[in-house]
Structure 1
Amino acid sequence: MLDAAERLFAQRGPQAVSMDDVARAAGVGKGTLFRRFGDRASLARAVLSTHEAAFQEALIRGAPPLGPGAPASERLVAFGRGMLGLVEAHGELLLAAETGAPCGRFRAGPYASYRFFVSSLLREAAPRLDPDYTADALLATLGAEFVAYLRDDRALALEQIAASFERLVRSLVQ
């Protein structure tokens, strides 16, 4: 089912793919698909899970500056660049996953992992700040919907967004 969904999402874009389309392509009943995933946003999150797992692995065991061994401020900047890379590579899929239900992005497993990672680094790099609130605020600037707005409506290049994120992080941790 996930292979069929990923293939269809890549061909048409997630917004143009129905659960019926995925069930048909996977050779399963629509009920089976709905029982397993519930809705298209959950299906999109499941398809994204392998990409996000690779990114999370790099956070935990990868080379610096994203992985351990770099100062917390450098890891925060590298995290932002890495998240922007995920958004660039899988933006439509992330949008489908993040906007399926109100606050769905914040209740999904990957968000909690990213929030924990960022708040842990903030505790080290900027102990005067509320690390949990600041982590949520930083993550908001990396969400697929916000990045799409910056790219499409504001015509910002990905590098401009990354540089702005870096300036924001550096202003918080000084």
Structure 2
Amino acid sequence: MPQGRGERADAARNRRAILLATEELLARHRPEQISMEQVAAAAGVGKGTVFHRFGSRMGLMLALMQERALTLNEAVVSGPPPLGPGAAPRARLLAFLDGIVDVVSRNKGLLAALGHAATTTHRRENDQGEGGESPIYRFWHRHVSELIAQARPELDADLMAHVVLGALHSTPVLNLLEQGESKRLSNALCTLAASLLDAPDGTPRPGLSSRRCNSGGVN
């Protein structure tokens, strides 16, 4: 019915307005400083609408991160190389890490929000998945782990992926993002990953040169 279509269109507009308002607030404030009331006022909707759509502040932050990460995830699954299938594991890993930095650097506080949301999920909602991590983190960890395993099958790829991604949640790294030094972070992750994928004797394994790691970001 036309009325139903109108209601769905309104709901979609409200969702976009709420996410955009949240993104704008995160450019000026840390996640813990943002209230649902502030988001509602900035989006021009009622507070109840925000709670109904997202449940909580961390639910809202996670939804925003999922929205922004979707393009990267789609590029990994079906996009062209080096992010997508068809490139060597080394090339894909470097491009993917660069893509992650590109996503999180667009919003100064969004990575902190994701880390907080994952911690909250682990404590309260263990039914979301193994380990209680957020869906975004699970996708990122699985992809990084698979690429490491392909390039260095003798390594503990599962743990190595946690170590690489865990660095993104540290306070010094978050401070770098807030200072606009995303390129510096991307280069550091590139060096770390390239060293990890080198052969035990230090010989670079086949694949893209480490100096190409800034070529794979998602716009």
CA–CA distance in structure 1, aligned partners of residues 170 and 83 of structure 2: 20
CA–CA distance in structure 1, aligned partners of residues 77 and 195 of structure 2: 25
Q: Which residue of 1 aligns with 2:114?
A: 97
Q: Which residue of 2 aligns with 1:133?
A: 159
1:7 aligns with 2:11: no
Give how far 1:158 is off: 2.6
For 1:110, what is the secondary structure of its paired residue? helix
How many residue pairs match? The answer is 171
CA RMSD of aligned residues (A): 2.6
Give how far 1:126 is off: 1.1
For 1:102, what is the secondary structure of its paired residue? helix
CA–CA distance in structure 1, aligned partners of residues 118 and 186 of structure 2: 27
TM-score (normalised: structure 2): 0.67
Q: Which residue of 1 aligns with 2:168?
A: 142
TM-score (normalised: structure 1): 0.82
Give how far 1:65 is off: 1.1
Give how far 1:89 is off: 1.0
| Counterpart amino acid of residue 45 in structure 1 | L
Out of 59, 71, 74, the position equivalent to 2:88 is 71
Q: Which residue of 1 aligns with 2:104?
A: 87
Q: Which residue of 2 aligns with 1:124?
A: 150
Give how far 1:53 is off: 1.0
| Counterpart amino acid of residue 87 in structure 1 | V
Gaps of 5+ in 2: 1-13, 123-131, 199-219
Give how far 1:99 is off: 2.0
CA–CA distance in structure 2, aligned partners of residues 171 and 29 of structure 1: 49
**62-71 or 160-169, larger mean C-alpha shift:** 160-169
**CA distance 1:91–1:167, shift in 2 (3 Å):** same
Out of 39, 45, 70, the position equivalent to 1:27 is 45
Gaps of 5+ in 1: none
Give how far 1:86 is off: 0.8
| Counterpart amino acid of residue 18 in structure 2 | A
Give how far 1:97 is off: 3.2
CA–CA distance in structure 1, aligned partners of residues 47 and 24 of structure 2: 21
